[in-house]
A and B are shown apart, each in its own frame.
Chain A
């Protein structure tokens, strides 16, 4: 069982447990003896099952189980200790009674007396469940105390409502405990965390060059209407087209791109996704530059010295901006094109898939390079049918010793790129994206849905990790949680329990070797993207990467996954480090890496 499904199973069991205890409590309050006992037994069973899932999660990593061990387990224990003995006692006394009628009446009265303990157990488990769902990692005293306050208050109210009132002393004590826990918990939860504001200083570009061949482009962002699958849809576009113009350069050129904003009210920038530019050219509004507002312009300039497949997109209101079409392809080639070299930027515009399928014959023996780009916020599945192929590069970096593959699909994370190469056979070849033919050299019918998926961590030839020391280690635990965004509460996507802008920046020094341990304890995939650097994958879920060195800028951290990656801090500045499901990034999953 994967850790991801274990996380889901644990949640399901917790819900059943809560339902069992609360249902048992309600049934006993209504004097349904059998139902109450049945539900309580079920709840007890679920509680033990949950002990197993929590133990398994703790073994998979403390991050997955912290709040469950520290908050849910004590609350469950209290639940079982309070409710268990009362249930057993009820049963024993029943067997002592001889007269059937008397027994029935007695047990009816008796079953009502276990209502409050059962409800208490239900409240305790509900509190624990809410802590997991609304707060998550890391476990905090504040969340624990708020849960206790809720449990005590709910129990006290139930006690009064059910008529079996506790003595004044007990009731007052309960009120005092609840209020104290509430006040302390709120205080601890609301205490401001230390999150230094991100300094934003705009330096002039450090890519001022002279002498090299300069490739000049102008991109004008504006609202427009484009035709997709025979339908006119509203879009935001560079130069009126989606995707924007394909920017190409040869190693040794200098790229100079003038960005103009015609009428995108919320501003635009250009971020060179996967291309490690100097910080001032990175295009993150509020961090490396100000957003380019309507009527303004900004000139980006950098050397084309990293051959590979990249893309560019706006980083201002990036979720909406990219989704609406403000993106395009950037390809840096080591030499002029030989053979067929095609980019396939996959996107979903207003629910319709791009690019438009195309078919063109390619002569047998011609070398073909398909540059697959995923510009959406979710993973896509690409399958190349009709030929053996190799994955020559991932995220712009060439792989070491890629072996030929056949009938194998690749999963490309949001923002990721795979270069597939093959020599055109005499028979037709087709590329399918999520089962839809996007590029073909002729008619191909192939069912690719059942193909195995390539695991890049075991593909190609390994070479040793280039570093022997690691200077700095950071752990990023990805989750969801309630967060106060200004005054509005939101269900944010969080890193280490905080959401942007409250996540403390990661501080490194120039030439540090830095490791990230990225843990996903949420139920959805998070495609991780660090700006300005490529990270080398060391291991996933404790298993070292055994294939070609993987220098990635976008990788899917699936639910329950633990990735260990490392990079050399060689590009000074302030860099965004975020989830490339841009809706998640907008909902808090963004932090920054800065150099001291």
Chain B
């Protein structure tokens, strides 16, 4: 399970990197049509949520310490928040469909939240790797006694 946690956090990290790439692809696609952010949307609404769910699930199943479990659940919340921010920013237009300063401020939070999320994922990944490393003998025995389900 600990190995699985390392693997899924690695994949999640890669997905996050790609997500930033897709955001750039969307921003620089000319002309800026409706489909420019399609890759970004699909990754953000389907791939990343599934991976964050798996991360949280594996952290619990791996009997990781409480701090790591909490840290592993955090990306899930941030990802839901990220989708909500995008929805609000898209909705904050005037009657003619033109962006408002308020909407663009909200849109800025989308970028900030993305940066926070990727930092959290990096921390989870590092903690997961530490957890998966073979521990000193005594600790291993304790873990065995508890019935580590690997």
Contact = CB atoms under 8 A, between A and B. Distances in A.
Interface of A: 8, 11-12, 15, 18-19, 22, 26, 29-30, 126, 130, 133, 157, 161-163, 323, 350-352, 378-381, 411, 434, 453, 491, 523-525, 556, 558-559, 583
25 contacts: A8-B88, A8-B91, A11-B88, A15-B81, A15-B84, A19-B77, A19-B81, A26-B70, A26-B74, A29-B70, A30-B67, A133-B87, A161-B69, A323-B34, A350-B33, A351-B32, A379-B96, A379-B97, A380-B96, A381-B96, A411-B95, A453-B95, A491-B45, A523-B91, A556-B95
Contacts, number: 63
Contacts of B30: 351
Contacts of A453: 95
A161 B60 contact: yes
Given A8-B88, A12-B88, A29 B96 contact: no
Contact of A523 (B32, B69, B81, B88): B88
A22 B66 contact: no
**Main SS of the interface on chain B?**
helix
A588 B95 CA distance: 23
A22 B92 CA distance: 27
Q: Which 8 A-B pairs have the closest CB atoms?
A: A351-B31, A523-B91, A381-B96, A378-B97, A26-B70, A379-B97, A351-B33, A379-B96
Nearest to B88: A8
B98 interface: yes
Of residues A30, A161, A323, A381, which shows the largest number of chain B Cβ atoms within 10 Å of its Cβ? A161
A411 B70 contact: no
A378 to B, nearest CB: 4
A317 to B, nearest CB: 14
B123 interface: no
Given A351-B32, A379-B96, A411-B95, A133 B84 contact: yes
Given A22-B77, A133-B84, A162 B95 contact: no
B88 A30 contact: no
A527 to B, nearest CB: 11
Question: How extensive is the interface on chain B, given as a class?
Answer: 20 to 34
Contact of B34 (A163, A524, A525, A583): A583
B88 A379 contact: no
Contacts of B34: 323, 583
A11 B31 CA distance: 32
B43 interface: no
Contact of A157 (B31, B60, B90): B60
Contacts of B74: 26
Nearest to B29: A351
Contacts of B77: 18-19, 22, 126
A26 B66 CA distance: 10
A524 B90 contact: yes
Contacts of A380: 96-97
B88 A411 contact: no
Nearest to B63: A161
A382 to B, nearest CB: 9
A525 B97 contact: yes
A434 B95 contact: no
Interface string B57-70: 00010000011011
Contacts of B32: 351
A133 B86 CA distance: 13
A18 to B, nearest CB: 8
B66 A162 contact: yes
A559 B91 contact: yes
A325 to B, nearest CB: 13
Given A26-B70, A379-B96, 11 more contacts: A12-B88, A15-B84, A29-B66, A130-B80, A161-B66, A350-B31, A351-B32, A378-B97, A380-B96, A434-B98, A556-B95
Interface in B41-83: 45, 60, 66-67, 69-70, 74, 77, 80-81
Nearest to B41: A491
Contacts of A323: 34
Nearest to B103: A8
Nearest to B97: A378
A30 B45 CA distance: 31
A15 B81 CA distance: 7
A559 B97 CA distance: 12
A24 to B, nearest CB: 12
B74 to A, nearest CB: 8
A558 B95 contact: yes
A351 B69 CA distance: 46
A163 to B, nearest CB: 7
Nearest to A414: B97
Given A133-B84, A161-B66, A524 B33 contact: no
A11 B95 CA distance: 20
A306 B141 CA distance: 87
A381 B97 CA distance: 9
A236 to B, nearest CB: 15
A333 B111 CA distance: 53
Nearest to A581: B97
Nearest to B84: A15
B55 to A, nearest CB: 14
Contacts of A8: 88, 91-92
A226 to B, nearest CB: 14
A554 to B, nearest CB: 15
A478 to B, nearest CB: 13
A161 B73 CA distance: 12
Contacts of A157: 60
Interface string B25-42: 000001111100000000
A320 B38 CA distance: 15
B129 to A, nearest CB: 21
A500 to B, nearest CB: 20
Contacts of A162: 66
Contacts of A351: 30-33
Given A8-B88, A523-B91, A30 B97 contact: no
B76 to A, nearest CB: 10
A519 to B, nearest CB: 16
Contact of B66 (A163, A378, A525, A583): A163
B70 A30 contact: yes
Contacts of A381: 95-96, 98
A200 to B, nearest CB: 29
B96 A411 contact: yes
Contacts of A29: 66, 70
Nearest to A480: B87
Contacts of B33: 350-351
